[in-house]
Each structure stands twice: as C-alpha cells, then as structure tokens.
Amino acid sequence: MFIDKVRLTLTAGRGGNGVIAWRREKYVPKGGPCGGDGGKGGSIFLATDPQVVSLEHLRNRRLITAENGQPGGYNHRTGKNGQDLTLKLPSGTVVKDAATGEVLYDFVEERSEQICQGGIGGKGNDRFKSPTHQAPYICTEGEAGEAREIELELKLIADIGLIGMPNAGKSSLMSRITYLEVKIGAYPFTTLFPNLSYLRTSKTLVADIPGIIEGAHKDRGLGFEFLRHIERSAALIYVIDISGFEERDPLDDFRVLQNELKAYKSELLDKPYLIVLNKIDIEGADEHVERFRKEVPGPIFPVSVLENQGIKPLMEAIENLKIIGAKL
C-alpha cells in the first residue's frame, strides 16, 4: 500500500538513574562513595533512504520510543547508553510540527537529522563527594528524553508527472512507456495511489498521479490528497482523452486540469509540459485533434496507447522535456 501521510508521537529515551553505592573491600581500611552515573537515553534521528519509497512502514507505528539509558553501577561504573533510533524516510518527505504546522525539515536530498534528543543520565553519589562531605548519600535521577508529535508528508520527487482526468489513459500510457504494470480499468479512479517507475529507454523517473477532477483543490475526488506530488515533478505531461467519448469535450478537460493546478499552486503552470492526446484510434478523434491544435498552443502528441501509435516520438520528447525541466 502507498502511504504518503502519517502522524507520529516520538519520545527519546530517558537517561538512567545515578546510584548510591559504597566501596567495601577486605583489607581496605577506608571505603567511600563509588556509585556510577546513569547512561544517556537513546536519541531519535530521521534519515533518507533511497530504498524506501513510501511511509507505509510507519503506518502502524504511531508511538515510537527510543531505548532508555541503564542505571549506574558499583565501583564508578556508568550505565549503558540507550540505543539511538533512526527512522528511514523516502526522499521528498516534509516533516512538520503536528501542533503548529511549522515545517521542521524538508528531506529533498539525502541527509540525517536528530529530531528528539535522549535524556542525560543521573549522577551517582561519587559525583557529590568533597573534602567536607566524604560520604554523600545522594544521587540524581536521569532526565526524560525529548518528546515530539510530528506529521510526515511525502511529496514525490520525479522527473515527469502524468496528470489527467479519470479514464484519460494515464495508467495505460504508464504501462507502455515504463516497466511498471499498473491496474487498468474503464471506471473512475482506477489509480488509487501514485505509481513510480523509470522510462524504458533511460533513468527518467515517471510518476502517474491519480485522476484529477474539477474541484480537486477543494478536496473533491482523490485529487487533493495527491496534488502535492505534482509539486516536485520537474516537468508535466497532460494526458487528454481526445476521443470525445461520453460527450466529454477534450478542451474542457484540459482547462479543468489547468484551473485545478492554478487553484492549488499557480507556479505549477510554469513547469515545462507536453500534451498527449490519447485514443486517436477511435472514430471521430481526428476532428477533435484538429480543433485542439487550433485552440491550445504548445507541444502536442496525438497517440493511441492501445494501438502503440505515436509512442516512439513521444518518448524522445519526454527525454528532452526532462532535460529542460532539470535546467529550471
């Protein structure tokens, strides 16, 4: 399952307590305090991992606690430190404070950050001896580790983002141009979560975003949850059903997509893009293609994913589009 948003409560380990102990050895005329300090509590770190692609592994781990430090021991022995805990995240994860919404970290590149520091260990009674106080009967408890409630939000980092209305043929196109086999069906919202795969001809990473409908930026359909994944695509491909099937106007579909992107974040319209007019094999599609070309400027590629028509020049254009997007 693809999970791109989770809420976690993190608690670093508590420091171990200091102890009260006395040196008592045979043939040693004078003893003294020898209680050791407690160990430090384990800290919690967040780090990117290229092998992790979603937040699914954290879905059922809402309460996460690092290991506590061990108490001190006899003969000045310091307790064992608690083991640090590292949570692995996919690149593109935004870390927010759950209470305020403040962005704490944005893991665009590979990095590691400490999110909760472990508590300091308590002091044993050996720490309190002095010339005037040679037998201190006192020690301190370890400090509690830092606690924090955070929200993790994944924004996919892809070279190319495929966007379109439901049933436009994005998933079919994805299967044709990449190595990914995705679910295909003639009903709304076949794609329920983003799919990622590399282009068959290169290491160009393509993201198939679930269908966007009018009002997606207002939490209609599935669009609101996944519009964020378009933000970090270097370039976009609009996939339009040009057949006019079900009396849908391809021009209206294109304008709806652009309006939704603009309403969500207007700068998305500044990204380099291609327009793929799919289903040209259906009767009457040619007329819609000509009308579309007259009304919409830009690089337009009529294709039939089903019949494998126009795919080769499209893939060449995608490679060039990736280069343009990377330069911006």
pLDDT at residue 277, rounded to an integer: 95
For the chain, which residues make up each domain, given as ranges? 5-154, 160-327
- Structure confidence at residue 45 as a pLDDT band (50, 70, 90): very high
Residue 249 pLDDT > 80: yes
CA distance 286 to 280: 7
The CATH classification of domain 160-327, taken from the options 3.40.50.300, 3.90.550.10, 3.30.1490.20, 1.10.3720.10: 3.40.50.300
Name the packing angle between helices 170-177 and 311-327 (round to 10°): 90
- Structure confidence at residue 187 as a pLDDT band (50, 70, 90): very low
Fold adopted by 5-154 = Spo0b-associated Gtp-binding Protein; Chain: A, (2.70.210)
The pLDDT tens digits for 267-325 are 999 999 999 999 999 988 999 999 999 999 889 999 999 899 999 999 999 988 866 65
Beta-bridge partners for 238: 163, 275
Whole-model pTM: value is 0.76
pLDDT at residue 217, rounded to an integer: 44
For the residues 76-81, what does the mean pLDDT come to? 95
pLDDT at residue 263, rounded to an integer: 86
Please answer whether residues 236 and 273 qualify as being in contact, where contact means their C-beta atoms are separated by less than 8 angstroms. Answer: yes
